[in-house]
A and B are shown apart, each in its own frame.
Chain A
Amino acid sequence: MERYEDWSAEELAMESSFIGWVLGLSDEDALFWENWLASHPQAHGRVEEARRLLLSFRETAGTEPSDEAEEADVRAVMRHIRRPAAFRRWFIRSAAALAIFAGAGTGVWYYLTRQTSTVTEWHTTTQVQQVTLPDQSVVTLSPNSHARYRDAPNGERVVEFSGEAFFKVTRNEHRPFVIYAGNMVTRVLGTSFWLRTKPQARTIELDVVTGKVAVYDRRNRRVAYQSMNEVTLLPNQRATYSTTTGDLKKGLVDNPVGEAAPSGQFRFTNTPIQLITAKLSKKYGIVIDLPDPLVGSCTFTGDLNDLSLYEQLDLICQSIHANYQIKQAQIVIRGQGCR
């Protein structure tokens, strides 16, 4: 770069990349300036002067911020910003109770909650309850479940959830549907899936039935910010989230459901295994891997209609002396091969 050639020492001392070099802030700047200096020997005097100017600004150490102060102040701020939200929730609940007592007091409730977004809550005890959200999404709550819905100011449809439920979310690309179950966050546009929080097992499970679902740990967003630890799921896949470690694992649902096929489709006579697995793969949308081509060329004869995927796999594997494993969200079949 030629532009520094006629710069004065003052101008050099004010230039960001020059400061970066002298104060040791950037290796990239150091490389540039050392090269530049080598090719501009006539500028040595000015560069040395500029360097000296910058090194003059040594402040004597003042009061330094302590880590304890930082921790205490950050916590104080977080407490402060959470308090008003909790108060609002409490306020809405009491206002709702008041309205019921008053019998005709619902108008008051709407008046009071008009400013904040409307929160709706459901609890189930022994019964299954089906609720329709304002966006026409349907949530079927199993017994002992709890859901709270609100329209977030940024347009998101937000549900806080615990228990077990089947979600059928109406597609809306402009308004993501976000479910918080503890620290596990599920983000979808329009899909259907099962969600179960299992406090005893300290896990949360999500089984996708249709569409695509993204799951991540709320706390992980802090580390990388861009959801690097996000898991994306397709139908018949399951995310298992550990509430203790925050780990997310991808696997398969207990009982994969396939597209309905005309009867008789799954009756085989001396059919190579790889053709059968390709057919199953297509039906369930699950990858079935046959790492050894010898296994793929084994043949199978039998009727696999009206069986679950795992029953079908059991029958196939028994007949060819192989076994299968579920790895991540794939099924891997291994065996000796056939003669």
Chain B
Amino acid sequence: MTDPAKTEDFLLWNGVGDSDEAAFNTLMRRHYKSLFRYGIRIHADEDLVRDAIQEVFISVWERRHKLPEIDSPRSYLLGSLRKRILYELRQSRWERLDEMADQFHVDFSFDHVLISREEDLLTRQKIETFLNSLPPRQKEIIHLRFYQNLSCEEIADVMKMNRQSVYNLLHETLRRLRRQWGPVGVYLLLSQLHESPFHVF
């Protein structure tokens, strides 16, 4: 499936390569908000995140004549922002990197409207506790997959991980989450007995 948003991103990306300021401006505005939402979860300091976003774009412009071959402008930008924020934190004397880099600020809470009425309070609490106690890395993958709508391939690109590891971590998280939920109903038994072979994209 070709994604029209991605095609437009590439048009803009190539425009930047041709020194087109208008294309560059549009590219920034298209991605500013999603970069901010991602950045603020890596580090909660708004000013630092905003500075980092600006620096990411400035460096794209400055290197526009030798931009790297990329699979997706969006994941390239998110990945650059991640690298930039972690670098800034490492530079800062007041923060200890091992503390900072090991966080991903996400809180999960149920939207009861969207969940079917059969779920009781206990289940809700169980799920929330489970999700909120996930390791930061897993939270980050969840954020990128389900909020930023990135593919496993793109997440691997952003987080500098192996694609298969991203897939495995996500699969594992979902498997454990499913166990927290318990069965859906009677007809469910069948599908639980029938465990499918591990699927690789």
- Which A residues have a C-beta under 8 Å from some C-beta of B? 6-11, 13-14, 16-17, 19, 23, 25, 42-46, 48-49, 52-60, 62-65, 69-70, 73-74, 76-78, 80-82, 152-154, 218-219, 221-222, 225-226
B1 interface contact, C-beta 8 A: yes
The 8 A CB mask of B1-39 against A (1 = contact, 0 = none) is 100000010011001011111111110110011001100
A78 near B1: Cβ-Cβ < 8 Å: no
Cα separation A98 to B178 with both chains bound (whole Å)? 75
B58 near A77: Cβ-Cβ < 8 Å: yes
Cα separation A11 to B62 with both chains bound (whole Å)? 41
B109 interface contact, C-beta 8 A: yes
Q: Given A8-B196, A10-B178, A14-B174, answer yes or no on A74-B187 (Cβ-Cβ < 8 Å).
A: no
Known contacts A23-B146, A62-B107, A65-B37, then 9 further A-B pairs from the complex at CB < 8 Å, ordered by chain A residue: A7-B196, A49-B184, A53-B178, A57-B142, A58-B108, A58-B111, A65-B40, A154-B65, A221-B22
Q: Given A14-B171, A25-B149, answer yes or no on A74-B28 (Cβ-Cβ < 8 Å).
A: yes
B19 near A152: Cβ-Cβ < 8 Å: yes
Interface of A is mostly: helix
Instruction: State which size class the interface on B falls in.
Output: 35 or more
B127 near A76: Cβ-Cβ < 8 Å: no
Q: Given A8-B195, A76-B54, answer yes or no on A222-B22 (Cβ-Cβ < 8 Å).
A: yes
A62 near B37: Cβ-Cβ < 8 Å: yes
B173 and chain A: residue at smallest CB distance: A10
- Which B residues have a C-beta under 8 Å from some C-beta of A? 1, 8, 11-12, 15, 17-26, 28-29, 32-33, 36-37, 40-41, 44, 46, 50, 53-54, 57-58, 61-62, 65, 105-111, 114-116, 127, 131, 142-143, 145-147, 149, 151-152, 167, 170-171, 174-175, 177-178, 181, 184-185, 187-188, 190-191, 194-196, 199
Q: Given A57-B108, A59-B143, A153-B19, answer yes or no on A77-B33 (Cβ-Cβ < 8 Å).
A: no
